[in-house]
């Protein structure tokens, strides 16, 4: 990942990320791996590419701020419905749910703040 500095040491406006070059990192949830594309530790905002194995499940959690997900492959479900490849879902701040996938999925997720888990 380019940290945003040019060879001359000047800060650039654009940060290009070699997504294919980033390793998949395991999460604490079985079957769910992630590549963090952007993270602002001061605010908690992040953009994460998530790969879910078939049958993977994210336990009950709360979205502290709006969360947005674009499903690139497969499908992602919760108690409100199923988001399939090419579709987008966003969740309101304060919403709570479990999420799962039967077939597996690849999701680009945008978080304004990290989720709060109850496990």
User: Can you give the CATH number for the domain in which 95 is found?
Assistant: 2.60.120.10
Question: In angstroms, rounded to a whole number, what is the distance separating the alpha carbons of residues 102 and 54?
Answer: 5
pLDDT of 47-83, one tens digit each? 999 999 999 999 988 888 999 999 999 999 999 999 9
Question: Is 55 among the domain residues?
Answer: yes
Tell me: the pLDDT tens digits for 77-92?
Answer: 999 999 999 999 999 9
- Give the predicted TM-score (pTM) of the model: 0.85
If one counts the domains in the chain, the total is 1
Question: Which residue would you say has higher pLDDT here, 17 or 7?
Answer: 17
On the question of pLDDT at 8 being above 70, the answer is no
Q: Is residue 3 part of a domain?
A: no
Boundaries of domain holding 48: 23-117
Q: What residues contact residue 9 under an 8 Å CB cut-off, 6+ apart? A: none
Summarised one tens digit per residue, pLDDT across range 13-33 is: 999 999 999 999 999 999 999
Residue 14 lies inside a defined structural domain of this protein: no
């Amino acid at each position: 990942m380019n940290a945003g500095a040019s060879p001359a040491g000047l800060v650039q406006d654009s940060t290009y990320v070699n997504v294919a070059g980033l390793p998949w990192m395991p999460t604490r949830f079985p079957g769910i791996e992630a590549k963090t594309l952007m993270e602002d530790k001061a605010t908690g905002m992040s953009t994460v590419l998530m790969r879910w194995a078939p049958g993977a499940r994210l336990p009950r959690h709360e979205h502290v701020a709006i969360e947005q997900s674009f499903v690139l492959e497969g499908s992602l479900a919760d108690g409100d419905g199923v988001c399939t490849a090419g579709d987008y879902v966003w969740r309101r701040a304060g919403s709570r749910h479990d999420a799962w996938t039967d077939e597996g999925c690849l999701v680009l997720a945008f978080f304004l703040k990290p989720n709060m888990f109850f496990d």
